[in-house]
Amino acid sequence: MADRDGLIWLDGEMVPWREAKVHVLTHTLHYGMGVFEGVRAYRTPRGPAIFRLEDHTRRLFNSAKILGMEIPFDPELISQAQIEVVRQNKLDSAYIRPMCFYGSESMGLHAQNLKVHCMVAAWPWGSYLGQEGLERGIRVKVSSFSRHHINVTMCRAKSNGSYMNSMLAVKDATACGYDEALLLDTEGYVAEGSGENVFIVHDGALYTPDLTSALDGITRRTIFAFAESFGIPVREKRITRDEVYIADEAFFTGTAAEVTPIREVDGRAIGSGSRGPITERLQQQYFDVVQGRDAGYDHWLSYV
Ligand code: PMP
């Protein structure tokens, strides 16, 4: 990733890609206290557009607030930086990664006198769980790792350190031959995927876990809006593993994962064992909206 052409926005300036470096004593590298976002720009008939940019920037600032980290830039500037990295790298679609992290001024857990740095990079990144996964659905394993308890790592913050848990779960699931992990909370209720929110369909209604141990996903909120427009009821509630096993359909949502059907969980086929009709309809709507084919949602697109 580090060895390529292009520009990365770092602390207010565009820096050549290979020179956007930090010191080995960077505080966040040691303790994982930092916040980040995952954002996407899509190719649209009117040029590249970033999907729900303001919402992502707002969540970045909320994440920092939860961690008690002061971002030394205005949200407008961080949004503009995201537009600039897409524009100046001449990308027509991209994954965009803003991150705020502590510098190397001191070590220790008191985190005193530390500068907060911000970076934004962007690069082309296709479907996270594969094109085939988007069409046929993926195979998922309930993880032996629990998702964070709210008094361990606050899940409303998209914080660097909380992804160690995600990585352990993914590694375990893929080592067992699955595509992705589904994590339960510490009480045993369904929480989310390693980097996605989860939905199930039962008798024509959508269900998704509440946000106790799951990220307040922007794609999740997008699905709520689509479901409302389609007249599909949505309920946030505690979901058990066996409810997932007997669901008619299940899918993951996320900026990287987009809307990915789940065709199997722990060796059990979900519904017909392929992409279900409600999932397909929501997925189609998602791609229509992010790719600028539905004028009704144009307010969610920031054109580059
Ligand atoms: N949960 C986790 C743990 C994630 O990392 C993500 C991806 N940011 C999501 C859910 C989905 O969030 P969003 O739809 O905002 O990308």
CA of 215 to the centre of ligand 1 (A): 6
Residues 105 and 146 in one domain: no
- Whether 304 is in a domain gets the answer no
- Whether 100 is in a domain gets the answer yes
Residues 170 and 53 in one domain: no
Q: Among the options 90, 141, 158, 237, which is catalytic?
A: 158
Summarised one tens digit per residue, pLDDT across range 84-133 is 999 999 999 999 999 999 999 999 999 999 999 999 999 999 888 889 99
Residues 89 and 146 in one domain: no
Residues 32 and 61 in one domain: yes
Domain that holds residue 248: 131-290
The CATH number linked to 70 is 3.30.470.10
| Structure-block tokens of residue 232 | 């599909």
pLDDT at 268 (0 to 100): 98
Residues 84 and 102 in one domain: yes
**CB distance 185 to ligand 1 below 6 Å:** no
- Whether 185 is in a domain gets the answer yes
Distances (CA, A) of 201 to 69, 196, 224: 38, 16, 13
Give the nearest ligand 1 atom to 37 CA: 8
60, 213, 219: residue to mutate for ligand 1 pocket, most atoms within 8 A of CB: 219
Residues 118 and 136 in one domain: no
pTM > 0.95: yes or no? yes
Examine the residue annotation and report whether 115 is marked as an active-site residue of this protein.
Answer: no
Burial of 6-38, coded b for 16+ CB within 10 Å and e otherwise, reads bbbbbeeebeebeebeeeeebbbeeeebbbbbb
Residues 36 and 69 in one domain: yes
Summarised one tens digit per residue, pLDDT across range 242-266 is 999 999 999 999 999 999 999 999 9
Give the nearest ligand 1 atom to 197 CA: 10
- Whether 302 is in a domain gets the answer no
Domain boundary among 123, 151, 167: 123
Summarised one tens digit per residue, pLDDT across range 133-156 is 999 999 999 999 999 999 999 999
| Structure-block tokens of residue 143 | 């993880």
153, 158, 190: residue to mutate for ligand 1 pocket, most atoms within 8 A of CB: 158
Please report, for the chain, how many H helices and E strands are present, in that order.
8, 17
- Pairing of β 234-236 and β 205-208: parallel
Residue 183: what residue type? Answer: L
